[in-house]
Amino acid sequence: MKKRLYLELENCIGCRSCLAACTQCGGHEERNRNYVYDVNPLVNRQTMPLMCLHCENPACARSCPAQAIQIHETGAVLSALVEKCIGCQNCTIACPYGIPKFDTEQNLMYKCDLCIDRTKDGIPPMCASVCPSNTLQWLTDEEIENKKKQFNLDNGKWVTSMPYLEGETNVKVNLPGILQGITKLY
């Protein structure tokens, strides 16, 4: 059954376990490929992860003059192929979320490949495996549908990809506010 990365931003506690775990995926050369931001550090402790959303029509791949960024059959937008990447950094500019990172020494772009060694066989990516707060989850489409029903936001929206910055995405993101629609037990 196809599973997707699903983000519930409300849950993030800023532990950056996802970044630590990213370095532990065998294919990641011990470099983390995503971000966790302090939203307003002088005011409160709100944090949020910024993960590659694995766009269905990704700007990074479209902007690549060397076809170095491949899209896997699972929908994962892969890191640049070492033999094809020319180090032009178009992708880092094109991505509206600022995901691709650049290694100046190797003259090579690298980005989240959704732990393709794992996810191609249905094993959750490292970040979603370890996330202690369930900010990052690895869910079936049915489970994501249930999430939509569970969380009725008063603005009628619940994913950041609506309106899209860059078309439909494989990763689904739940905006902060999941508790708005909850009926209290007592």
Residue 73 Cβ vs another protein, minimum distance, rounded to whole Å: 19
Contact assessment for residue 34 and residue 112, using Cβ atoms and an 8 Å cutoff:
yes
The tokens describing 110, both together, are 């690298």
What type of residue sits at position 91? C
Contact between 154 and another protein by CB under 8 A: the answer reads no
Contact between 134 and another protein by CB under 8 A: the answer reads yes
Contact between 131 and another protein by CB under 8 A: the answer reads yes
List the one residue from 20, 82, 162, 165 that touches another protein (CB under 8 A). Answer: 20
* Residue 151 Cα distances to 53, 114, 168, angstroms: 21, 26, 20
Classified as helix, coil or strand, 151 is: coil
Nearer Cβ to another protein, position 50 or 88? 50
What type of residue sits at position 25? C
Contact between 146 and another protein by CB under 8 A: the answer reads no
What type of residue sits at position 138? W
List the one residue from 4, 7, 9, 10 that touches another protein (CB under 8 A). Answer: 10
Nearest residue to 114 (alpha-carbon basis) of 58, 72, 145: 72
Contact between 16 and another protein by CB under 8 A: the answer reads yes
Site residues, another protein (CB under 8 A): 10-11, 13-17, 19-21, 23-24, 26, 41-47, 117-118, 121, 123-124, 126, 129-134, 150, 178-179, 182-186
